[in-house]
Amino acid sequence: MPMRRDIFQAIADPTRRAIIALIAIQAMTPNAIAEHFDTTRQAVSKHLKILTECELVKQEHQGREIYYQLEIDKMKEIDKWLEQFRKIWESRFEQLDILLSTIKKQKK
């Protein structure tokens, strides 16, 4: 059984985030993914292994080829966690807008 990794550990790495962005558009083979990076195929495979262990990507066998595709449900977990911060940021921006409007009115 593979070691379980944290999804946030996986997306902390910029190369893995770039891989996620690539396969979000379409499923790709490891070789096709590796062509987009200035690194070895082996390094890309290690990134794919981590993403797979975190269940952010899944493998699909098509003949002799393995295609990696994004696991949407796991991405939704990340989005759900970020939502709490989105609400905080939106609230603070609204407060800033009110403050700026007040200051602007006072200057007139």
The residues spanned by each domain of the chain are: 1-70, 72-108
**108, containing H or E segment:** none
Report, as an integer, the average pLDDT of 70-90: 89
Mention the CATH class of domain 1-70. mainly alpha
User: Phi first, then psi: what are they for 61, rounded to 5°?
Assistant: -85, 130
- Which tens digits make up the pLDDT trace of 3-57? 567 888 899 999 999 999 999 999 999 999 999 999 999 999 999 999 999 999 9
Q: What is the pLDDT of residue 44?
A: 96
* pLDDT tops 60 at residue 59: yes
Q: What is the pLDDT of residue 58?
A: 95
Length of the chain: 108
Cβ(62)–Cβ(54) below 8 Å: no
pTM for the model stands at: 0.74
Query: Which alpha helices (DSSP H) does 63-71 contain, by range?
Result: none
Name every residue whose Cβ is closer than 8 Å to that of residue 67 and which is 6 or more positions away in sequence.
27, 28, 29, 59, 60, 61
